[in-house]
Structure 1
Amino acid sequence: MHTYATPYNIVRNLQPELPVYCFRPERVTASARWFVEKFPAQAFYAVKANPAPHVLDALWEGGVRSFDAASEKEIQLIHGRFPGARIAFLHPVKPRHAIKRAYENYGVRIFVTDTVAELNKILEATGHARDLTILVRIAVSCDGSALPLANKFGAGPEEAAEILRLARRHADEVGVSFHVGSQAMKPSAWAQAMADASRIIIDAGVTVDIVDVGGGFPAIYADTAPPEMDDYVAMVMRSFENMFVLENAELWCEPGRALAAEAESLLVRVDLAKGNTLYINDGSYGSLYDAVHERWEFPIRAIPGDGRKMGRMVEYTVYGPTCDSTDKLAETVWLPAGMTEGDYIEFGNIGAYGRAMATRFNGFGEAETLAVQDAPWPSLYGAASAEVVAFGSKATN
């Protein structure tokens, strides 16, 4: 992968026609090392956040050795790239054939369930193996998260206790897991969830070997900054000490966004300016899905295609490249006046769920990946400059 000093150099030297993922490997390695060194929990990277090989390699370089896979394809990817990795199949609903192949072909021993039916499926598909680790996912509050995940998965208290009792009879290790929602902005969400999990364990009357506090750890975008990561760790560790679990119980977590968000930015080209309306070569069906459908506010900056000096800020409406009229950023964007065809916009901290959500609708979706060495975007893991513009906020470049 070719490396440039900054995206400005990419624009000046290449004038790229396709969107460009600007990869910053040191950001990924820094986030990985932070979790490995400062969070006393086994971190299972949520592969769904960004499965790009270069991102996975940077995580491995930073010390991540465990991975949360949600599909057989993700298991195959990790097993093929890192034969010594620890893989957990943590989707609560799995095809029977995928469970069987995960166990027999890829050495997966860790599975999650939130129903008795899924537990039985796991037991049957693995031939009632005695070396299984079964995590029971419980339903918890998602208060304070940008994307609540409470409705689709998670067992209620009574059912969770029943599953724990059944799992304890068959599995080598048993644990509880939960997810407080994506981009969780309140560390206290983990305290409440862990207290709920502890009550379920007591009701079940079983010993528990593992507490998996899931994902939801945030990243910095261009709206309200989350608390410091140290605050999340302190809350989790205090809550873990009060849980009704074995003294030697393990603590796990499943960071995805927190590890990958700062990995990449997205450099897009303006294909047409129609007054204060811009048409760019990526959008809601590409890596800007979250900017449209979830109203995510990414840090942005304009890069002139001809190197000219850019002036005062004005408000723009921005459309993506497809023929769908809904392919439009949810919020207006403040950018320099006079933006025109051949200028570029960089969306920062889009490494989580950016490329992972992109489709090929209308024949679009192709992109390049280049490495860069600058660090303009806010970081939870180190100092960075503040050269950003937030959607809907008037700022200077």
Structure 2
Amino acid sequence: MQPLSAPWPDPSAYLARVRPDAPLLFLSPATLQATARRFLDGFPGLVTFAVKANDRAEVLANLDTAGLSTFDVASPGEMRAVRAMNPNAVLHYNNPVRSLEEVAVGIEMGVASWSVDDEGELDKLSQVPRGAEIAVRFALPVKGAAYDFGEKFGASPARAVDLLRRVAAEGWRPALCFHPGTQCEDAGAWESYIAEAARIAARAGVRIARLNVGGGFAAHRHGTAPDLEAVFARIKAAVTRAFGAEAPALVCEPGRAMVAEAFTLAARIKGMRQGGDTVFLNDGIYGGLIDLRDMGLTGRIQVLASDGSARRGLGRARRIFGPTCDSLDRLPDGLELPEDTVTGDYVLFAGLGAYSVAMSTCFNGYGLRDVVTVLRLTGHCPHGS
């Protein structure tokens, strides 16, 4: 890993000089901090970061520098990573299913906000100091995201009413939370959830202190980048419409949209077969490209020769395999690479800062481990970044 104090100019400069044979991520701290400021300036409430998306120390430190003081953690390991970066950081523990041992660690770490979606899980929080915030998480059958988080977490609205009453009655600060699902490209999903949150609070007879509208903000994967400010504006308007004068304070917990754009993943072509129609990379679904298996192919790639120059031939759809011995290690078909692509070239995937290094395994001795700091991520995407 290159130290932040000595960044390379850009990915092509590093690849031409070092010619690495293992996959790596390029990090632009300037891009990461600019994205954080975009959320801080635009979102009408508290901005936290979902650490699960990328828990690298460089990421946490840059977000702290940009002004984020609160982090959404899902495990004791993530709590410790945040506190190692900033002992005074505020922790929100929004994984609603915890062991008693994990609850004890959260209490010891001074978690400020907890979420819950089940009576039994609320029982586990009995030792959480009164005055701490407990947010009841609810779920709706709302479309608009790449996949639905409500299949795993979230009480029905009727159960949320009962849980919210109990949270308030037992002396915790009552709140509500939801998650519209990852890569949500329809602001209407937030509007539906916000309207239901107001109905839950009214039925429970509880004035909530805060409403956590989750993450789900879309990252740039194809064509035009998502208009985050338009989503922020619709969230704000929906809260005013639903709650009126009793509008709660807002919280969001972006993960993907916060870190994706600050990283470019570089994988090298190990071999090509069948006239170039089948390509083997040194990274795949057991490494940093795992998110492409679930989210589909990104349109933001470029191929560089080993000297750092760009391949500019016409695109041709290929079959792409990763480096392991498992035949399942394969990207969705149809990734277009330039006609003049050859073995030894580098395929650069823009916007892969989320769920890449965080989910990479070491299966078969492969894996994404290295992060190289650059001043800019320019020239790596035909459509810009």
Q: Which residue of 1 aligns with 2:359?
A: 357
User: Over the residues paired in the alignment, what is the CA RMSD in angstroms?
Assistant: 2.0
Deviations 1:119-160 (A, max 9, x none): 11111x43xx22321000011233111122121111111110
1:226-241 counterparts in 2 under 5 A? 227-241=226-240
1:363-378 counterparts in 2 under 5 A? 363-376=365-378
Deviations 1:277-298 (A, max 9, x none): 2111100000101112332425
The answer to whether the 8 Å contact 1:201/1:244 transfers is: no
Q: Distance in 2 between matches of 1:327 and 1:172?
A: 47
Choose from 112, 115, 118 the match for 2:115.
Answer: 112
In the TM superposition, residue 215 of structure 1 has moved relative to its aligned partner by: 0.7
Q: Distance in 2 between matches of 1:187 and 1:289?
A: 26
Q: Distance in 2 between matches of 1:72 and 1:78?
A: 10
Q: Which residue of 2 aligns with 1:122?
A: 125
Gaps of 5+ in 2: none
Asked if residue 300 in structure 1 is aligned to residue 307 in structure 2, the reply is no
Q: Looking at both structures, which has the greater relative contact order when contacts are Cα pairs under 8 Å and sequence separation is at least 6?
A: 2
Question: Comparing 10-19 with 358-367, which one deviates more in the overlay?
Answer: 358-367
Aligned residues: 378
Letter in 1 for 2:304: I
In the TM superposition, residue 103 of structure 1 has moved relative to its aligned partner by: 0.7
Choose from 12, 15, 23 the match for 1:11.
Answer: 15
Q: Distance in 2 between matches of 1:377 and 1:234?
A: 32
Q: Distance in 2 between matches of 1:258 and 1:159?
A: 31
The answer to whether the 8 Å contact 1:191/1:235 transfers is: yes
Which secondary structure does the structure 1 equivalent of 2:358 belong to? helix
**Change beyond 3 A, Cα 1:385–1:328:** closer
**Change beyond 3 A, Cα 1:339–1:227:** closer
Which secondary structure does the structure 2 equivalent of 1:27 belong to? helix
Q: Distance in 2 between matches of 1:174 and 1:118?
A: 15
The answer to whether the 8 Å contact 1:207/1:245 transfers is: no
**Change beyond 3 A, Cα 1:364–1:179:** same
Q: Which residue of 2 aligns with 1:77?
A: 81
Q: Once superposed, which parts of structure 1, at least 4 consecutive aligned residues long, lie more than 6 Å away?
A: none
**Change beyond 3 A, Cα 1:310–1:252:** closer
Letter in 1 for 2:240: E
Which secondary structure does the structure 1 equivalent of 2:327 belong to? coil
Q: Distance in 2 between matches of 1:364 and 1:241?
A: 50
Which secondary structure does the structure 1 equivalent of 2:269 belong to? strand
Deviations 1:101-121 (A, max 9, x none): 2112x1113110001111111
Q: Distance in 2 between matches of 1:70 and 1:238?
A: 30
Q: Distance in 1 between matches of 2:310 and 2:265?
A: 22
Q: Which residue of 1 aligns with 2:285?
A: 284
Letter in 1 for 2:118: T
In the TM superposition, residue 311 of structure 1 has moved relative to its aligned partner by: 4.4
1:1-397 counterparts in 2 under 5 A? 1=3, 2-104=6-108, 106-123=109-126, 125-126=127-128, 129-222=129-222, 225=224, 227-244=226-243, 247=246, 249-274=248-273, 275-276=275-276, 277-306=278-307, 310-313=311-314, 314-376=316-378, 386-387=383-384
In the TM superposition, residue 337 of structure 1 has moved relative to its aligned partner by: 2.1
**Change beyond 3 A, Cα 1:293–1:146:** closer
The answer to whether the 8 Å contact 2:318/2:333 transfers is: no
Which secondary structure does the structure 2 equivalent of 1:356 belong to? coil
The answer to whether the 8 Å contact 1:65/1:85 transfers is: yes
- Percent identity reads 32
**Change beyond 3 A, Cα 1:310–1:116:** closer
The answer to whether the 8 Å contact 1:208/1:245 transfers is: no
Q: Distance in 1 between matches of 2:101 and 2:142?
A: 32
In the TM superposition, residue 7 of structure 1 has moved relative to its aligned partner by: 1.4
Letter in 1 for 2:194: M
**Change beyond 3 A, Cα 1:244–1:377:** farther
Question: Comparing 15-24 with 368-377, which one deviates more in the overlay?
Answer: 368-377
TM-score under structure 2 length normalisation = 0.93
Letter in 2 for 1:256: G
Letter in 2 for 1:76: R
Letter in 1 for 2:7: T
The answer to whether the 8 Å contact 1:179/1:213 transfers is: yes
TM-score under structure 1 length normalisation = 0.90
Q: Distance in 1 between matches of 2:308 and 2:243?
A: 62
Which secondary structure does the structure 1 equivalent of 2:155 belong to? coil
Which secondary structure does the structure 1 equivalent of 2:12 belong to? helix
In the TM superposition, residue 307 of structure 1 has moved relative to its aligned partner by: 5.3
Q: Distance in 2 between matches of 1:214 and 1:338?
A: 44
Q: Distance in 2 between matches of 1:130 and 1:307?
A: 58
Which secondary structure does the structure 2 equivalent of 1:183 belong to? coil
Which secondary structure does the structure 2 equivalent of 1:145 belong to? coil
